[in-house]
Amino acid sequence: MKISDMLIICLRNLWRRKGRTMLTVVGVVIGSCAVIVMISLGLGMNKAMDSMLSSWGDLTAVTIYNGSAGPGVVFTEGSSSSSSTTEKPPLDDAAIETLSTLDNVLYVIPKMNVSSDMITVCAGRNDRYRLSWADVYGIDFSLLEKMGYEIDEGEAPNEHNYSSSIIFGYEMPYQFRDTKKHGNAAMTQRQQLSDGSFSKPFVEPVGETIKIGINNTKKPNEDGTYPYGGRGYEYKLTGAAVLKQDTMWETPYSVFIDVNLAKQIIEDYNRLNNVKKAKAPQYSQVKLICNDINSVDGVQKMVEEMGYSATSMAQVRNQMQGELGVIQLILGGLAAISLLVAAISITNTMIMSIYERTREIGIMKVLGCFIGNIRLTFLMEAGLIGLLGGIIGTIISYIISIIMNAFAGSAFSEMLGIYTEGGGGDVSIIPLWLVLLALVFSTVIGLISGYYPANRAVKISALEAIKNE
């Protein structure tokens, strides 16, 4: 018997009992639709989670902190924070070279903190305007884009003016204090004006000459402050740019200078204040950018084996994926129940079909049809029921997905505690591979459900089957 003949017989039999066939198909539709929608929800939750974590930081980054002190460590022997760095290997230039040789590491981005106790940042005639406080960091300006920092105003420094440039965080221009005024008049605040622009700070951050003076802590002033600058201990820089406000508030209240200049400032501070046995400047933080998110765990493990303290968004991601995995498992269990009911329904339909077609089976045997052809005919009927249910279920799943994304995206994301920039996003995602998987799976379910009835059909005696009315 040809495959085409068996296919025609299958379609004819299914159409002849179309009422029962469609009821059976409905069961498969519900089951396949449940599987697709549940998996699509899981994919949507994972995408929303990655989007949320990406807004918190680079998912491919591993951040190393100097000892247990983290950012803001003063790297001079004899200071209160120097003891915390003795427990970990030094995060110096030698360490940077070693870290750059690790597998799957694309970029090594060091950051050096210059303590606000060491310097005074000022601008204007006779240093009239001074930063009330500042987190000053030395960075490699050539890696500014790799750090994820975006320019809001001005231009990024180039290789010709790295050492003479300074970059301000979004809020730092408003932290300059007018030393000739008192109270609230000595400070400005960022306020949006009626035309949409913002109030001007005392110091124009782009193009302004900014001076960094080294504090002399050996001779404090009467008011408790320290004299700064002096011959050989001050640096004149030019404001190059203002950074955009980042989502994690890493940059708004920071000032950035060239990393080599930061080293020089720390060394000058130690020399001016006669710091005995001063250690070479170390980095407060180093960020490793990996090839992809899958290599983050491996890189972090290697870094920790070297003795450093390291963190990454992958840790948070893995923890959240575990929680989402439990939710997906529950959703998958519900879908599996639906498919189990559909499989039982197919089996029942095929058994009923065998009882009704016993005489037909006997005639097929008498005419010389192979046992395998008879079995394959019933398997094809069961498989077609599964395939038809899968096709209809896929179409309905797309409709459900569109409705959920249009009306329930934000609410569903908030219910799961997943917040993404710009709204809830697509809560249901149905890629092509999921459609193909659903069609194959529903067809296989049909074949498995029809296997027992098909075997039962071929065991029927030909003579007894012909006598059957």
Q: For residue range 61-100, what is the model confidence (pLDDT) as tens digits?
A: 899 988 643 333 444 433 433 334 446 788 999 999 999 9
H or E element at residue 395: helix 371-407
**Tens digits of per-residue pLDDT, 128-157?**
999 988 789 999 999 988 888 899 999 999
Do the Cβ atoms of 260 and 268 come closer than 8 Å? no
**Nearest CA among 219, 225, 236, 175 for reference residue 201:** 175
pLDDT number for residue 78: 38
Do the Cβ atoms of 30 and 393 come closer than 8 Å? yes
User: Which residues share a beta bridge with 310?
Assistant: 64
> Given the structure tokens 């951040």, which residue do they identify?
63
Which parts of the chain have pLDDT scores under 70?
A: 1-2, 5-6, 9, 52-57, 67-87, 247-248, 355-363, 365-368, 408-425, 457-458, 460-469
User: Which residues share a beta bridge with 61?
Assistant: 289
User: What pTM was computed for the model?
Assistant: 0.63
One-letter identity of residue 294: N
Burial track 207-228 (b if 16+ CB lie within 10 A, e otherwise): ebebbbbbbbbeeeeeeeebbb
DSSP alpha helices (H): ranges in 306-370? 313-356, 358-366
Do the Cβ atoms of 244 and 150 come closer than 8 Å? yes
One-letter identity of residue 169: G
pLDDT number for residue 214: 93
> Given the structure tokens 């029809």, which residue do they identify?
450
pLDDT number for residue 414: 57
